[in-house]
A and B are shown apart, each in its own frame.
With several copies, the nearest count.
Chain A
Amino acid sequence: MEKQDLLRVYRSMKTIREFEERLHLEIQTGEIAGFTHLYSGQEASAVGVCDALSKDDYIVSTHRGHGHCIAKGCDVKGMMLEIYGRAGGLCKGKGGSMHIADFDVGMMGANAIVGGGPPLAVGAAIAAGIDGNGNVAVAFGGDGSSNQGTVFEAMNLAVVLKAPALFVFENNGYGEHTGDEYAVGAESIQARSAAFGMLSLAADGNDFFDVYEKTAQALEHARAGRGPVSLELQTQRYFGHFEGDPQKYRAAGEVEKARQEDDCLLRFRARVTGDGSLTEAELDAVDAEVLALIDEAVAEARQAPAPTPDDVLTDVYVSY
């Protein structure tokens, strides 16, 4: 990767991290309403996948969608406004954290229904297949989602139609308060996907480079018309399932250890400085830039106007 590419990747991961760490604090002020599921810890997954995509490829996301949105190129301030429920938010304050979408950058929406997204991704992939434009549609999902019937159906349909879809399973070890060891009856998500008849890969979800390379391999396969691909990523989430989660399912010291020893940003930094691709100073400069952006985004969101009651009634239909 070129230097500018590495900087872009780092900026993207760092933006997600700071966005989420900051939200974690801001939520405690009570200013942000509703459910918020933070992505901290999983940045290499979103960015590893999305950086390998083109702008015209599609992604479909989940309840834990901020990372996917930022990685695919959604406007960070527009997202922050949305999460604050402001009129100027990406969805005019109607969607909130769990429903951010931006079709201009191929982001087809976060989805608060576990398993709701993969069938949609297959549809976008079918459309790409008809148009023969080489686009791929990615369905993000978690370990927990991998047991939902809609996800299995989507995988089988994609195989049957050889649709250029990529099923990314971010395995962070938990679906809410339950372990994947329990909820996934299969030996692994990867093995189960393989048995559906598709190319099935796995990567270290905390290693940007591994995720990126496996995604590139998957995309080559899918773009060549050889059918869908599954990709299981082992990763970790730093915060609770939702904000306020007592997290009694964690091992003692689990998160601290992950943050110290297996953090995707630290690993990225070590590698690119270690091999001389980037300097600490260059990365620090990105950090500063990102922090400033997030500060600005929060400041603007706080002061931005709320939607007006009349807005309730619009955007239900194109015409009615």
Chain B
Amino acid sequence: MPVMNVRQAINETLHQEMERDENVIVLGEDVSGGAGTPSGEREAIGGIWGTTGGLLPKFGEKRVIDTPITESAIIGAAAGASLVGKRAVAELMFADFIGVCMDQLFNQIAKFRYMFGGKAKCPVVVRLIYGAGMNSAAQHSQALYNMLTAVPGLKVVTPTNAADAKGLLTTAIRDDDPVMFFEHKALYTKKCEVPEGEYLVPFGEAQLLRQGDDVSVVAIGRMAYFAEKAVDALAEQGIGCDLIEPRTLSPLDEDSIIDSVEKTGRLVVVDESPPRCSIASDLAGIVAGKAFSSLKAPIEMVTAPHTPIPFARELERAYLPGPDKISAAISKAAGYR
């Protein structure tokens, strides 16, 4: 299998799906770049994250649409096109920009099918580039998947490696429901083997990254990598962990998490967001309700603090949950009597 990084996997998937289905269209700011500029170079960038490169030359301006800076209209247009037969893949350059198009996400796209009594379908994919780790400060670093997971009608996906990026994006584009596809900016260069050709990863199936009997660790997005480090280090000290990475937050693979907790009796959740109404607390709440009788220790949440995201390197490092904090939480859970 070829080895590629997340960026390349996403790019390849967009190429494959646009080739396969002429109803797939891509739109966003600078997905191609160069429109209306003096160079005459029509693909001036191919997406600032490099994920949409080569699409315009291959599929043309009708299907690869550069837009002004106009997120409400981008998401609304993607939705409108998808309501009448297209499968639009819209890019939000930074997930933080949901603020300027939130209505289209949570009042429109999410609710069409229900409000219209099941008669509409809106197979739109919104790609949201998210996460801290690049010192982009408070308005360009947030992990806002909790806000969209809270919204009935949306599906929420958080791939962490290149193979999943491909498999989940393929599934997202073919899915008949709206999908919020979160790509962590600090994971774009992560490489792994990626199946060739058509490859789908189903929604609602978590992956088990490590196996162990002492503590269940659930980690979202980039946190899975930090958790891996912590888990591996603790394994050497004789503490064995299940490490679960949900892959999709909505639908959620509750069963895998609950089964694991029924085995270990201890749960640590790791989430890059601040704690309140987070995925961390969401999972804690589910487990405290559905696997209570198995629990042998307090549920440990490892999250960012209840603060905006700071700029300076030293501050952002302190802000983010890292392997040390995760390790401490696991040890605490494992040691609780």
Contact = CB atoms under 8 A, between A and B. Distances in A.
Q: Do chains A and B touch in the complex (CB under 8 A)?
A: yes
Nearest to A311: B315
B114 A315 contact: yes
Contacts of A128: 84
Given A94-B315, A98-B140, A180-B36, A123 B72 contact: no
Interface string A223-253: 0000000000000000000000010111110
Interface string A154-192: 101100110000000000011111111111110000000
Interface in A76-134: 85-86, 89-96, 98-99, 101-103, 108-109, 111-116, 118-131
B121 A178 contact: no
Contact of A306 (B82, B83, B153, B313): B313
B208 interface: no
DSSP class of B's interface residues: helix, strand, loop or mixed?
loop
A318 B176 contact: yes
Interface residues of A, number: 89
A309 B314 contact: yes
Interface string A287-320: 0000000000000000000111101111111111
A157 B310 CA distance: 32
Contacts of A157: 67-68, 70, 73-74, 77
A131 B22 CA distance: 10
B175 to A, nearest CB: 8
Contacts of A118: 76
A93 B312 contact: yes
B4 interface: no
Interface stretch (A144-152, A199-207, A267-275): A144-152
Interface string B73-104: 11111111111111010000000110110011
19 contacts: A35-B136, A85-B135, A89-B117, A93-B117, A94-B312, A101-B112, A103-B83, A116-B103, A121-B80, A131-B85, A149-B72, A182-B66, A250-B37, A306-B312, A312-B315, A312-B318, A313-B307, A315-B114, A317-B155
Cβ-closest 6 pairs across A and B: A119-B76, A123-B80, A182-B36, A179-B36, A85-B312, A96-B311
